[in-house]
Amino acid sequence: MASDPGGLGAVPGALLITGTVGAGKTTTAGAVGALLREDGVPHAVVDLDALCHAWPSPDGDPFHLRLQLANLRAVASNHRAAGAVRLVLAGVLEDPDVRRRYAEAVGVGLAVCRLRPDLAVVRARLQGRHREDPAGLDWHLRRSGELDRILEDAGVGDVVVAVRAHQTPDDVARAVTRAVGWTTAPP
């Protein structure tokens, strides 16, 4: 992983891995965390959905963004106080203004990487994930294409990494870390 020129350790920062539902955001974030661990970089991996999993959602905030940001601010601060130099986040980012709010919440520089998988792969993943939940499957299948278009139009990623069906989570994590400059390893 990239370290500072003086050899004092990794440059502090945060990485948000975004993409449509079923893109592999959480899996990739975990794999990035494993790469950081291998390189001895103190870090934390945070699934943004876990920070706002509550019901019901308030009027005007269907995905509990306000709750998510408040929790992210506290979680990021706690992880940094405990020694984390890098924060790896997994979640959906649809709006440039929300990106600014995420950056403020983590308190360090934020890079955003959008995963762009083949939607046929996404559909297959969702069918496996929601095998016992037909209503959930229907919603997620509709949302995957819709959200992919929203993310494409919003252009919120600093980098976009294409995800191929044959790639392992480790392959994708290495592509992501290279794309955002968190590694010096050759491609």
Task: Answer whether residue 56 is part of any domain.
Answer: yes
Cβ atoms of residues 111 and 70 within 8 Å: no
Give the orientation angle of helix 134-154 with respect to helix 119-129, to 10 degrees: 150
Chain-wide mean pLDDT for the chain? 86
The parent domain of residue 55 ranges over 13-179
> pLDDT tens for residues 81-138?
999 999 999 999 988 889 999 999 999 999 999 999 887 787 777 777 778 877 777 7
Task: Give the per-residue pLDDT at 73.
Answer: 98
Residue 122 lies in a domain: yes
Give a yes or no: residue 146 inside a domain.
yes
Whether pLDDT at 187 is above 60: no
Position 3 in a domain: no
- Convert the pLDDT of each residue in 136-171 to its tens digit: 777 677 777 788 888 888 888 899 999 988 899 999
Helical residues (DSSP H) of the chain, grouped into ranges:
25-38, 65-81, 96-106, 119-129, 134-154, 169-179
Distances (CA, A) of 5 to 25, 108, 187: 30, 19, 21
Question: Does the residue 172 lie in any domain?
Answer: yes
User: Would the pLDDT of 22 be above 80?
Assistant: yes
Domain annotation covers residue 185? no
Tokens read off for 7: 């050899």
Average pLDDT over residues 41-50: 96
Other C-beta atoms lying within 10 Å of the C-beta of residue 54: 11
Q: Is 5 part of any domain?
A: no
- Structurally, the chain folds into a number of domains equal to 1
Q: Residue 136 is part of a domain; what is its CATH number?
A: 3.40.50.300
- Structural domain includes residue 79: yes
